[in-house]
Amino acid sequence: MIDSIETEKYRCFLYNQGLMPYLDAHQWQRSLLQDRINNPSLDDVLILLEHPPVYTLGKGANSEFIKFDIDKSEYDVHRVERGGEVTYHCPGQLVGYPILNLHRYRQDLHWYLRQLEEVLIRVLANYGLSGDRIPGFTGVWLEGYKVAAIGIKVSRWVTMHGFALNVCPDLKGFERIVPCGIADKAVGSLADWIPGIKCQEVRFCVAHYFSEVFGVELVESQFEESAYS
């Protein structure tokens, strides 16, 4: 298990959002990141939300992992600047976007990815479930099923994008892609092990363990559209 950071507690604004269109959240993240590049003294941010159904591809993602014609598709598809292959977001999946200045923590992307995995592994442990890492891959698995995907972008050591934890989504949307480009490992959700579980309860658990792993003080905040529009 990765130890929590032994340092002073930085403040991190927590935005507990509901359902937000992907492009709105993406624009918000970009605005927060640029503000922190311009002014590194600004506090960190953690956004927790859900998205309407949407497919996203990392900047180098292979479109062959999509099983439908993007140009003639009824589905919402976006290529963005994060790392990783194609993934799917939908209601019932809890998405976390940390906007962190890694100068305050450790300037090491592998370390940061492992910390995000650790947050989610502790969340699973809270429910009596044993989450696993698989060497060579990023994300968290549960009894061989991938329940959490991670894809990040870092600019001047400020992070954006983040993680997606399958709590109780309709998994049919994953059938139209090769999730994260991994063909031989199925996708699962916490609801497969804990029937009736909902994002609303899990988001508080995620916030708690995020605070614990990164050693930050979370400050609940309210979203204002004018902050990025």
Catalytic residue numbers read 180
What tokens appear for 195 in the block? 């029937």
Three-class SS state of 83: coil
Contact 45, 32 (CB under 8 A): yes
Half-sphere exposure at residue 44, Cβ-oriented, CA atoms within 13 angstroms: 25
Beta strands across the sheet bearing 54-57: 77-79, 54-57, 87-89
Q: What is the distance between the alpha carbons of residues 171 and 21, in angstroms, rounded to a whole number? A: 19
Task: Name residue, tokens 């890694």.
Answer: 102
Contact 216, 13 (CB under 8 A): no
Q: What is the distance between the alpha carbons of residues 84 and 176, in angstroms, rounded to a whole number? A: 17
DSSP class per residue in 156-172? TTEEEEEEEEESS--GG
Q: What is the distance between the alpha carbons of residues 92 and 108, in angstroms, rounded to a whole number? A: 31
